[in-house]
């Protein structure tokens, strides 16, 4: 990314700013939060925005801004770790399959294609039903669900590179498979792999907050933005900001990532299913 921020298109710059903002909030949010976590600061539940509580209060009279800032860690952080795992495993397997070829490629591709045909939220529900929804399990579940997608994208990119002359030359030199994967193929597909990471991050955020919204994701006392929408859903009848604000936070995050990815990839972001 050697282009300065001034040379980015406005939409891309906006996406970058939003992503940086939420990343900072995930890291430092709890320090910036105006009220201590869990503190009931007002007798008024589902209050509208006020000077003391800029985003209103939740179903217990807690400050919504504080809740969202603390929740950022769970929505952004957990999704980032899960997506990182999925991309790491998917990319490694894909590079391996593309470089080695033959049976390894055929078996891996067949197996992961079967996994891809499971709708993601459905698969997550089945796994949560059996192993529960502790944070490590949620990370593992989301990672497993999105490995096949990452694998498919990276493999399609890598087979094009493997067919090129310089890879043949490296093979003829007698370089090992690991060297080919790391030094010859990966550097040529870094940007599309990062783009894919961004899109997959969006799917993971939507999946995990969907689960939390159903009450099957991150469990109290921790709360991500999906759980915040769920626990304040009663406030909908009063038009309380407590319901809408966490949902809007998710929307800004996912749209921000999408804008950034679109700009970096130089195309309308695509997708192969959540």
Partner 1 sequence: MSPLARLLAARLASGVLTLLIVSLLVFLATEMLPGDVAQAVLGQSATPDAVAALRAAMHLDQPGWLRYLLWLRGLLTLDLGRSLVNGLPVASLIGSRLPNSLLLAGLTALVAVPVALLLGITAAVWRGTAYDRVVGVLTVSAVSVPEFLVATLAVLVFAVRLHWLPAMFYGLDLRSPGHMLLVFAMPVATLSFVVVAQIARMTRAALTNVLDSSYIEMAVLKGVRPLRLVLRHALPNALGPIVNAVALSVSFLLGGVIIVETIFNYPGLAKLMVDGVSTRDMPLVQACAMIFCAAYLLLVLLADLLAILANPRLRHP
Q: Which residues bind partner 1 (CB under 8 A)?
A: 111, 113-115, 117-123, 125-131, 202, 206, 209-210, 213-216, 226, 229, 233, 236-239, 243-244, 247-248, 250-251, 254-255, 257-258, 262, 268-274
Closest approach of partner 1 to the CB of residue 267, in Å: 10
Of the two residues 99 and 232, which places its CB atom closer to partner 1 in the complex?
232
Of the two residues 2 and 130, which places its CB atom closer to partner 1 in the complex?
130
Closest approach of partner 1 to the CB of residue 157, in Å: 19
Closest approach of partner 1 to the CB of residue 274, in Å: 6
Of the two residues 88 and 137, which places its CB atom closer to partner 1 in the complex?
137
Please write down the long-range contacts of 14-18, taking CB distance under 8 Å and 24 or more positions apart: 14/256, 14/259, 15/255, 15/256, 15/257, 15/258, 15/259, 15/260, 15/261, 15/262, 15/263, 16/260, 16/263, 17/256, 18/252, 18/253, 18/255, 18/256, 18/257, 18/259, 18/260
Of the two residues 83 and 254, which places its CB atom closer to partner 1 in the complex?
254
Of the two residues 123 and 222, which places its CB atom closer to partner 1 in the complex?
123
Closest approach of partner 1 to the CB of residue 210, in Å: 6
Closest approach of partner 1 to the CB of residue 59, in Å: 15
């Amino acid at each position: 990314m050697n282009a300065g921020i001034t040379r980015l298109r406005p939409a891309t710059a906006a996406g970058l700013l939003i992503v940086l903002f939420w990343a900072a909030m995930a890291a430092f949010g709890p320090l910036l939060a105006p009220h201590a976590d869990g503190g009931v600061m007002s007798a008024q539940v589902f209050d509208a925005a006020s000077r003391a509580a800029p985003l209103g209060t939740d179903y217990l009279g807690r400050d919504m801004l504080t809740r969202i800032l603390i929740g950022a860690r769970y929505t952004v952080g957990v999704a980032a770790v899960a997506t990182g795992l999925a991309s790491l495993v998917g990319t490694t397997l894909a590079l391996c399959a593309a470089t080695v070829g033959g049976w390894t490629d055929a078996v891996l591709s067949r197996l992961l294609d079967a996994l891809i045909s499971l709708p993601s939220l459905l698969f997550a529900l089945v796994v949560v039903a059996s192993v529960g929804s502790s944070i490590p399990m949620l990370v593992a579940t989301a990672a497993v669900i999105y490995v096949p997608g990452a694998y498919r994208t990276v493999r399609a990119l890598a087979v094009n590179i493997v067919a090129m002359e310089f890879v043949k030359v490296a093979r003829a030199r007698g370089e090992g498979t690991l060297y080919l994967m790391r030094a010859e193929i990966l550097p040529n597909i870094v940007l599309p792999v990062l783009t894919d990471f961004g899109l997959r991050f969006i799917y993971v955020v939507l999946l995990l907050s969907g689960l939390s919204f159903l009450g099957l994701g991150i469990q109290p006392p921790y709360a991500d933005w999906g759980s915040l929408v769920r626990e304040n859903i009663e406030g909908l009848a009063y038009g309380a900001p407590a319901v809408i604000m966490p949902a809007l936070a998710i929307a800004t995050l996912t749209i921000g990532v999408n804008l950034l990815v679109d700009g970096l990839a130089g195309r309308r972001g695509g997708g192969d299913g959540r």
